[in-house]
Chain A
Amino acid sequence: MIDGLELSKEFPVGLGLFRGKAILRAVDRVSIHLEQGETVALVGESGSGKSTLGRMLLGLLPPTAGTVRYEGADLATLKGAAWRRYRSEVQAVFQDTSASLNPRRTVEDAVAASLIFNLGMRAGAARAETGRILDRVGLDPGEFARRYPHQLSGGQRQRVGLARALASRPRLLVADEPVSALDVSVRAQVLKLMIALQAQDNLAMLFITHDLGVARWIARRVVVMYLGGVVEEGPTEDVFANPRHPYTRALIAAAPMPDPARARPVRALKGEIPSPLAPPSGCRFHPRCPIARPICSTQIPERITLPGRSGPQPAGGHVAACHFAAEDQET
């Protein structure tokens, strides 16, 4: 349904008054593909480029290179009605609802605006429809329709964010850390609501998160990014059961387990994420990699397709960008 092909995004960054500009390559030749009804988790730490990639798919940022195809059509060529259709069918949910909701608009107005703008509804019809949508996201319209964002809890605000996204009858939801700001108990509510809505509407969802537990729970496929590039991707269970990139393994090992009987297996990864202004040569991960060899600092690793648990896989299989992905690795 949506395809990102070899997408790159560069930002010029001012280094100071007399030092000119540098190029920050936030996303470097990343391809991503989503089918109708499919959830893909995009996982990475800060600076990995996961949000930038999401914004390119949303049409909020033009790629520096590469193309986004929606239903086969190049996004850059969409105009008029086709562009509007794309904008209403591809919707966003963001982490920080206090920034993404207008503080001077009631819940009802926020949702109705999307109905009026995207679907061309009249105000009266939009109002009735708003009530129905608020019901769907678990907010009683009688109680919440006239409230302003500051009169809502974080979980309720995120439900409004979902209601607004759903209003234009989207087919793809790009959710950027939608539950990261929420408390644990509320997070579970919102996640369950999201998968229920997704199933009802057969939505495709790109779920951007730094939280591996959430990614594993919600997505059928997972894409792991590091410093602007994809290091590993594949069916969620394959990637978590048999991670083939040392970074994926390090991420999994670093996640604290809510189980005191199970100590975190290995000592933490050394070093910190390098500046994307000066990414390392060769494999971007090599300065921190426990199994790096000389080739890693000189040669960019190819994407190696790995056999899945159920034998060789077609497109959408388990892929890792590591010189040694196919070898046995002990770390």
Chain B
Amino acid sequence: MDEWERIAGEPFTLNGQPFVSVTVEELTAEIRMMLGGRFRDAQSRMLLSTVTIAASGIVKGSIVTVRGVRMRVTAAAESDGTGTFWIPLGPTQIEPPEL
């Protein structure tokens, strides 16, 4: 995927159910720093309408499949001020705590 790629109407699945996002964006290190806050550790973000959020039941911790990749919603949705919401996405894999 190209950095900062926008593809309108990107499909995703949650619990096996198909939904459509407004767009998906891959986040570069520079963009993550610029966005800060809940996007600081995100690999990408997905823009969803309120209808899709309500229909899908997506929340922090949900696992979605976008472009064939399983990703975890790493924080609560953030409004973009126009009635749609950005969802930060990160990897589903984690490292064990240091023992």
Same complex origin of A and B: no
B interface residue numbers (CB < 8 A to A) = none
A interface residue numbers (CB < 8 A to B) = none
